[in-house]
Amino acid sequence: MELKPQDLLVLLKVAAHPGQRWTYAALGEALTLSASEVHACVRRAVAAGLVVTRGRGDWAPVRPALIEFAVHGVRYVWPAQLGPVKRGVPTSFGVEPLAAKISAGGDEAPVWAHPAGKAKGPSLSPLYHSAPQAALVDPALHRLLALQDAIRAGRARERSLATDLLTKELENMDAAG
């Protein structure tokens, strides 16, 4: 069973909110997916060893496996594509906590092209097409997706900083949950 980008989106959403119990329907609504799509995401993640089940409908990401995959695998499995300058939602080093560590000019930070976006910069393909919309309403998810994008598309320094920050964020979320 092959993982899909929306699988990681679901896992990051759950990881961003430790301790919260999600139904497939609630996750689907938050991520613009159907409940059956979320269920399929979880099934694939279980098969890949990224999720552990604890009973009927009760599951959780395996944080060490999720961290390893996010840091070392995602950029090769789902590489980001840079495109022309557009208006959109900031990502990568255009979002905290990475923005404070990387100095960039006004239009240098990448964005996900999106009509509700207020930033301008080189467009970057999101991990999944509904990720920008989900990030607009969930700052914790936005941070994780932006760090993931820095790993997917960044230069060596950006990838290194994002790797450290994403690892710490996911570990800290594990301690909180």
Residues 6+ apart with CB under 8 A from 12: 70, 141, 144, 145, 148
CB 113 within 8 A of CB 84: no
Residue 152: the pLDDT is: 97
Residue 1: the pLDDT is: 76
Residue 25: the pLDDT is: 96
pLDDT tens per residue, range 97-131? 998 998 776 678 999 999 999 999 999 999 999 99
- pTM summary value: 0.94
| Rounded-to-integer distance, Cα 151 and Cα 71, Å | 7
| Rounded-to-integer distance, Cα 98 and Cα 144, Å | 11
Residue with tokens 């710490």: 168
What are the structural domains, with CATH classification, of the chain? 5-75 (1.10.10.10), 79-176 (no CATH)
Residues (pLDDT < 50) of the chain are none
Residue 121: the pLDDT is: 95
